[in-house]
Chains A and B, each alone.
Chain A
Amino acid sequence: MVKGYRPGTLQEALELLAQETCTVMAGGTDLMVQRARGFSLRPKLDRPLVFIEQLKELKQIYKKDETLHIGPCVTLTDLLGHPHIPEIFKQMIGRMASPPTRNMATLGGNICNASPAGDTLPWFYAMNAKVKLQSSAAERTVPIDAFISGPKKTILGNNEILADIIIPDETFEINMYRKLGQRKGMSLTKASFLGLAMITGSTVTDIRIALGSVAPRIVRSPEIERTLKGKSINDIRSSAGEISQRYQPLITPIDDARSTAKYRKEASLNLIRHFLENMQP
């Protein structure tokens, strides 16, 4: 029998992790599927489970000092109903899973699962989000792209819990999200695109582009973005094709059951181009 703990506080949870090697269980929608063994069988989980989805400290959403804090155990459904969550992020969440799965799935689970197809990730990359990792003895805060160290890999220690997600509280005038996938209730995305921009007069003052599912990691290029800042919308529109080609080396998708590499690559480049060509002040 697999043991289970339901700590009452975050501190209690961290102490459990300090004493024993356990598996952290949030909504379970990734773990229970990844470890499934088939019909009528319990999944292949053998370490004691530490349930965290009930911890109030991990379910808060608030703004402080121009930053938005989202607790990792907030469910996708909670996010859709919360006034602090920007519309563009709600649009992204609304394209994930089905309502019953969204009632279970947590934001922290999507981040810690660290899949290149994790649909919340492009937003965190585009927003320069940070995550706070806590253990019973210490805490550290790292940028999202340092937290995720490879496909399905993070720097999270066995004794650590992702305890806070910290996002600069910025909004953008231009917001575009597209997700290419199959039936909505299903888990896997073929390619996704997020474009954000700020415009003053006819000058692009800020621009962020992030793509999911088309490389081992979320694709974002601050270098390319820097070359676009300060340009006029018209300049960017007229060189949209050339700019999108600069993303070509960064987009290195795979063939799999969901889609082919060729489709993913062409679709992504077209989405970048479409975003740049359609920017309106």
Chain B
Amino acid sequence: MIIEFNLNHEKTTIDVDASARVLDILRDELGMTSVKEGCGEGECGACIILVDGRAMNSCILPAGALHGRSVLTLEGFKHTERYKAIEAGFLKAGSVQCGFCTPGFVLATESLLNQNPRPSDEEIKEGLSGNLCRCTGYNMIIRGVRIAIEEGAGLW
């Protein structure tokens, strides 16, 4: 199946198995290795990408679903001011230890703030409830998001 979509703002056309996991297409065919495989079952969020601005689990997204959509991975998102605000917040709060979960948390944060620029702590927890971290204990990540919201005021 030939699919055409925007990947990090570039028009991309590839011939894929319609049932292939978007995760594998992005990593193996298109070199987007920020996208990680944690659980492969939609439960950990390490594979999150943005599709038309919304977070999705690429490990359970079939390739054929990408046709006509706009996909953003960290490789594309990292050039934005919003990314820089999230990065600064995460650095300040110590939200990153091994880093395996981080690309997923960053994109889940972007998806959340896109829809709700001023979330409460409860709403941040809900927004990030699809992401698992084995290292930090989450409080530092929530603090990182808070800092990003304050210091990045006006970006979302």
Contact = CB atoms under 8 A, between A and B. Distances in A.
B65 A53 contact: yes
Interface in A200-259: none
B37 A4 contact: no
Given A3-B18, A4-B64, A99-B130, A77 B54 contact: yes
Contact of A25 (B20, B37, B64): B64
B21 A43 contact: yes
A103 interface: yes
B19 A100 contact: no
B44 to A, nearest CB: 8
A33 B41 contact: yes
B37 A99 contact: no
Contacts of B89: none
B130 A101 contact: yes
Interface string B47-59: 0100100111101
B65 A25 contact: yes
Contacts of A25: 62, 64-65
A185 B19 contact: no
Contacts of B56: 100, 103-104
A187 B42 CA distance: 9
Contacts of B108: 99-100
A100 B18 contact: no
B129 A185 contact: yes
B45 interface: yes
Contacts of B65: 25, 28, 51, 53
Interface in B85-123: 108, 111-112
Nearest to A51: B64
B15 to A, nearest CB: 8
A155 interface: no
Contacts of A184: 129
B64 A104 contact: no
Contacts of B132: 185
B61 A4 contact: no
Nearest to A185: B130
A33 to B, nearest CB: 5
Interface string B1-30: 100000000000000011111001000100
Contacts of A104: 56-57, 60-61
A38 B39 CA distance: 9
A51 B108 CA distance: 25
A19 interface: no
A59 to B, nearest CB: 14
Q: Give the 10 A-B CB pairs with smallest separation, nearest first.
A: A4-B18, A98-B130, A4-B64, A4-B1, A32-B60, A100-B55, A45-B19, A2-B19, A103-B54, A1-B17
